[in-house]
Structure 1
Amino acid sequence: MTKIVMDMVELVLLMPKDWAELLENKIKSSTEDPMKVVIDNADKLSNDTDTEGITGFMYSFAVSILSQCWKYGEYLRKWHNQEYSYDGMGVVNPAAMSLKLK
């Protein structure tokens, strides 16, 4: 059990690092606004770095880590939240969303 937990912790920490590196390379090689580069590339590059199949909670944790610690994190946080039609503070957790039936 301990190995499984440690593998998951490693995954949660490595995926955002790889994702940020790919996004940062795109931003640095572009002449466009960083927000546009994030909007155009974040989803694809997230999928490229998610080789193990992270959960929705792990994904939102990755966005949260990067939004607080990475130079371009605020762009990523805004892009992520816009994907869920939210423009407030914090990071939307897609694993905690619920549906309301009409």
Structure 2
Amino acid sequence: MVKVTFIEESGKRREIDARPGDPLMYAAKDAGIDGIIAECGGSAMCATCHCYLLEAPNGPLPEPRIDEADTIEFNAHAPQPTSRLTCQVMVSEALEGAVFQVATGR
């Protein structure tokens, strides 16, 4: 398992375990991370799993694909250069220690 930290909308930090090969959204939903709604079930359509990548100790994540970037641009509240959809971030060992802030203001 890969350890990833989420900072929930309330400011609470939660370290969770994520299974390599799965979208990060699955682990966030299973752990009950507040603010990860995932209405579209992982198809990069709704931006209700929008987070900001704050720390990536093992190097940058792969760039968002065009569908993720478009959804962030057109559907996410307050998109930033570090915005990601957790449904599109695939868990790997390189994600160990990463910190994500759940986007607020939906």
Bin the TM-score by the shorter chain: 0.3 to 0.5
Q: Which has the higher strand share?
A: 2
* Structure with the larger RCO, 1 or 2 (CA within 8 Å, 6+ apart): 2
Q: Which has the higher helix share?
A: 1
Structure exhibiting the larger radius of gyration computed from Cα positions? 1
